[in-house]
Amino acid sequence: MHFSPLSVLTVSFWLCVAFIAYTYAGYPLLLWIIAKVRRHSLPSPSTAPTITLLICAHNEAKNIRRKLSESLALNYPPRKLQILVASDGSSDETVEIVRSFSNSGVQLVVIPRQGGKTNAQNIAVQQATGEIIVFSDATTQYHPDALQYLAGNFAAPLVGAVSGRYCYFDPETTSPTGAGAQAYAGYDNRIRQMQSQIDSITGCCGCIYAVRRSLYTPLASNIISDLVEPLHVLLKGAKVKLEPRAIASESSTTTSRKEFSMRVRVIARALHGISSVRTLLNPWKHPWIALQIFSHKLLRYSVPFFLAGIFLSSLMLVQLPFYRGLFVAQCLLYGAALLAAILPSNRLVKTLRLPLYFCILNAAALAGMLQFIRGQRYVSWKPEREASHAHSS
């Protein structure tokens, strides 16, 4: 059978469109349909289990005092709550500030040399006394009842881990990535919520997630724990749930460069993490988990390749009016993103921020995949977001 160059380009174009459409719309629609036929109710808040709130910090002198004050004010019985800070090679006043809270019961684990967040968690978990360990960052602000909402899910014996819901705020309303981060977080949280309603999710929010201490698995220091720790919980036969009422608020990044840098690290580490538990990608043994990882992670990270395929094939088909119009539309989209990247933040038109964020996400996915292929690994971390006061909704 003979295929003309025109037909090959046309098929390539529509295949790329189909993959992107499934990734962003088809998969969420599939989840929505399945979730509609599954009865689901949120569990009641609880203060039954003992909890260790584990906060990993590296040079967080600007944020740790506020974080500890807010943690002590959380609505959970103090006698059932251990607040534990792991200082990962901090060289500022982080350790001194944490020690000043010792009379309030805050405990400290000092790790002399920075070994990364996952390594710090592995060490600090050995000092945890709670039945449930809640992992937090120094820059996030919790809803006052967040721990009760997380704890309520563990009344079900089969639940081994629970993720809270993250949301970003832009306190200055001038961040070039703020609106995009907020929209993306809302979209991502909705997908996780439907996954949880159906059965289990396959990744947690790094700034607010809880694991039964008996199910915690020590991980290699280059592994992204909030993705891979829940995958090990699933391997042990337990479920991982999302608790949408347990909210953690965090400010968006302040520059496009910081957002891009953060996303590249997250994606590269996520790919290394997924490769460390490849058995979960077997659709015959783990059909639901494999579908989630493929659709929600691997396909999403592959979108830049499909975008490139659409751009090149429409360019080659530009002599046809329909594809010419689509090619012009793509040029306008990428031109708007480039303009948004060049303009100062205070002059950035809000409508330009979403194209910019879309391009940042996909450029970061491409860079992260290339770093994974090259074998580059991230161990230590430098938070790109800074804390700022906000109210959880």
Q: Could you tell me where the beta strands, DSSP code E, fall in 32-112?
A: 51-57, 81-88, 107-111
Distance CA 154, CA 212 (A): 8
Mean pLDDT of 184-204: 91
**How confident is the model at residue 373, as a pLDDT?**
87
Whole-prediction pTM value?
A: 0.88
Give the mean model confidence (pLDDT) for residues 364-386. 75
Average pLDDT, the chain: 89
Using alpha carbons only, what angle is made at residue 307 by residues 301 and 308, rounded to the nearest 5 degrees?
110
The total number of structural domains in the chain stands at 1
pLDDT at residue 385 tops 70? no
Q: Would you state the pLDDT for residue 387?
A: 45
pLDDT at 132 exceeding the cut of 90: yes
Give the distance from CA 329 to its chain's centroid: 30
The CATH number covering residue 255 comes to: 3.90.550.10
**Each residue of 272-286: pLDDT tens digit?**
999 999 999 999 999
* Alpha carbon distance 64, 381 (integer Å): 16
So what's the pLDDT on residue 98?
A: 96
| pLDDT band (50, 70, 90) for residue 392 | very low
187-191, 285-289, 350-354: lowest mean pLDDT where?
350-354
**Given pLDDT bands bounded at 50, 70 and 90, which one contains residue 151?**
very high
For 290-328, how does the pLDDT look when each residue is reduced to its tens digit (9 = 90+)? 999 999 999 999 999 999 999 999 999 999 999 999 999
pLDDT at residue 390 above 50? no
pLDDT at 72 over 90: yes
Give the range of the structural domain holding residue 256, as residue numbers without chain letter.
1-393
* Digit-coded pLDDT (tens) for 42-60: 999 999 999 999 999 999 9
Q: What is the pLDDT of residue 292?
A: 94
**233-263, pLDDT tens digit by residue?**
999 999 999 999 999 988 766 677 888 888 8
> What is the token pair recorded at 40?
């689901």
pLDDT band at 383 (very low <50, low <70, confident <90, very high): low
| DSSP-derived pairing of the beta strands 141-142 and 239-251 | antiparallel
Query: Residue 25 — pLDDT band, cuts 50, 70, 90?
Result: very high
3-state helix, strand, coil in the chain (%, to 5): 55, 15, 30
Is residue 389 predicted with pLDDT exceeding 50? Answer: no
Per-residue burial over 194-229, b = 16 or more CB atoms within 10 Å of its CB, e = otherwise: bbbbbebbbbbbbbbbbbbbebbbbbbbbbbbbbbb
Band of pLDDT at residue 338, cut at 50, 70 and 90: confident
Q: Which residues pair with 169 in a beta bridge?
A: 251
d(CA 323, CA 11): 13
Amino acid at 219: L
pLDDT at residue 391, rounded to an integer = 33
pLDDT greater at residue 59 or residue 172: 59
